[in-house]
């Protein structure tokens, strides 16, 4: 399986122990991927930032930062981890396996960064850069529209400010579930008319963003009514 991964990456490891460590969760004991993840995260941000700068020459700094953030976020990296079938390759402790850790997006995203860090230590910067760009090539091929990069809370705030309306209020309504699977329920409320939306998420930030997105949709519906 590791051989198949190396073929997809387009890189053959000289030191197989580095790849093995990149695919080892801390729950398995011994050497694990967290230090490699740290290295891979720094490398990834630079390589994607450099690529975005080259691909989108007229973009402002803020748009470049937002695009990079969208490319190296957990959702994108977890999707890449699924494409690489990293869940099938990860070594984990029995408890983590039973709880479905090999499917957890945060773990898949961390493993992707760890693999990039392992390539860097094994072969140096240029091979690692080539591996990263190969995986991100489809996402880098077409720069996005600047407005599409703004998160829902920012877009809602700008829409309300443009209409000279007060900013929304976010309230956590509930928080439940085990520590590694917390679920937050959040309300977004417009103080001037009392309109509300609610959304749940694995983090308060995610729930607030989803509630803001629903409020934007509600504003559009009311505008067309």
| Mean of the per-residue pLDDT values of the chain | 90
What is the spatial order of strands in the sheet that 183-189 belongs to? 169-176, 183-189, 196-201
Q: Which residues contact 26 (CB under 8 A, 6 or more apart)?
A: 32, 33, 34
Of 86, 117, 144, the last residue of a domain is 144
Q: Report the C-alpha gap between 153 and 143 in whole angstroms.
A: 22
State the pLDDT at residue 59: 87
**113 annotated as belonging to a binding site for a ligand:** yes
- Residue 90 is given by DSSP the state -
Candidate from 1-5, 119-123, 143-147, 196-200 with smallest mean pLDDT: 143-147
For residue 29, pLDDT over 90 is answered with: no
Does residue 135 sit in the same domain as residue 159? no
Residue 165's CATH number? 3.30.160.20
State the pLDDT at residue 151: 83
State the pLDDT at residue 225: 57
Does residue 24 sit in the same domain as residue 101? yes
State the pLDDT at residue 98: 74
Structure tokens at 34: 């967290």
Does residue 159 sit in the same domain as residue 210? yes
Q: Stretch 131-136: mean pLDDT, rounded?
A: 96
Does residue 80 sit in the same domain as residue 138? yes
Of 144, 178, 204, the last residue of a domain is 144
- Count of structural domains, the chain: 2
Does residue 14 sit in the same domain as residue 124? yes
Of 119, 144, 169, the last residue of a domain is 144
Query: CA 24 → CA 44, 87, 164, 183, 195, distances in Å?
Result: 20, 11, 52, 27, 47
Q: Is the separation of the CB atoms in 113 and 121 below 8 Å?
A: no
Q: Which residues are catalytic?
A: 41, 113
Does residue 156 sit in the same domain as residue 139? no
pLDDT tens digits along 161-210: 999 999 999 999 999 888 767 899 999 999 999 999 999 988 899 899 99
By residue range, what is the domain housing residue 127? 2-144
Does residue 125 sit in the same domain as residue 16? yes
**137 annotated as belonging to a binding site for a ligand:** no
CA angle 88, 93, 95 (to 5 degrees): 105
Give the confidence band of 1 by pLDDT, cuts at 50, 70, 90: low
- Residue 91 is given by DSSP the state B
Q: Report the C-alpha gap between 143 and 60 in whole angstroms.
A: 12
Q: Stretch 25-52: mean pLDDT, rounded?
A: 94
Structure tokens at 139: 């996402």
State the pLDDT at residue 101: 65
Q: Where are the alpha helices (DSSP H) in the chain?
A: 2-9, 16-22, 34-55, 61-71, 74-83, 94-98, 105-123, 125-140, 152-162, 204-224
Higher pLDDT, 30 or 160: 160
Q: Report the C-alpha gap between 153 and 192 in whole angstroms.
A: 17
Does residue 158 sit in the same domain as residue 139? no
- Residue 23 is given by DSSP the state T
Q: Stretch 125-131: mean pLDDT, rounded?
A: 97
Does residue 63 sit in the same domain as residue 115? yes
pLDDT tens digits along 64-109: 998 998 899 888 999 999 999 998 999 988 877 777 767 788 899 9
For residue 144, pLDDT over 90 is answered with: no
Q: Report the C-alpha gap between 164 and 129 in whole angstroms.
A: 46
**192 annotated as belonging to a binding site for a ligand:** no
Does residue 128 sit in the same domain as residue 160? no
Does residue 67 sit in the same domain as residue 139? yes
Does residue 29 sit in the same domain as residue 67? yes
Please state the φ and ψ torsions of residue 24, each to the nearest 5 degrees: -115, 120
Residue 16's CATH number? 1.10.1520.10
């Amino acid at each position: 399986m590791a051989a198949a991964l190396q073929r997809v990456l387009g890189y053959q490891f000289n030191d197989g122990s580095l790849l093995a460590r990149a695919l080892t969760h801390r729950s398995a004991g011994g050497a694990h991927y967290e230090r490699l993840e740290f290295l891979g995260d720094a490398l990834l941000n630079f390589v994607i930032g450099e690529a975005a700068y080259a691909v989108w020459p007229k973009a402002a700094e803020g748009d470049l930062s937002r695009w990079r953030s969208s490319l190296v976020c957990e959702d994108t990296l977890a999707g890449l981890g699924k494409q690489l079938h990293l869940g099938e390759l990860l070594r984990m402790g029995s408890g983590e396996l039973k709880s479905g850790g090999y499917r957890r997006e945060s773990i898949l995203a961390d493993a992707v960064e760890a693999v990039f860090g392992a390539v860097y230590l094994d072969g140096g910067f240029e091979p690692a850069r080539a591996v990263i760009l190969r995986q991100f090539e489809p996402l880098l091929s077409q720069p996005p529209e600047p407005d599409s990069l703004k998160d829902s809370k920012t877009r809602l705030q700008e829409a309300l400010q443009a209409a000279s309306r007060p900013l929304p209020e976010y309230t956590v309504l509930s928080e439940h579930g085990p520590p590694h699977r917390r679920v937050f329920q959040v309300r977004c409320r417009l103080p001037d008319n009392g309109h509300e939306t609610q959304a749940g998420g694995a983090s308060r930030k995610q729930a607030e963003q989803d509630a803001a997105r629903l409020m934007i949709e509600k504003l559009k519906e009311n505008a067309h009514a």
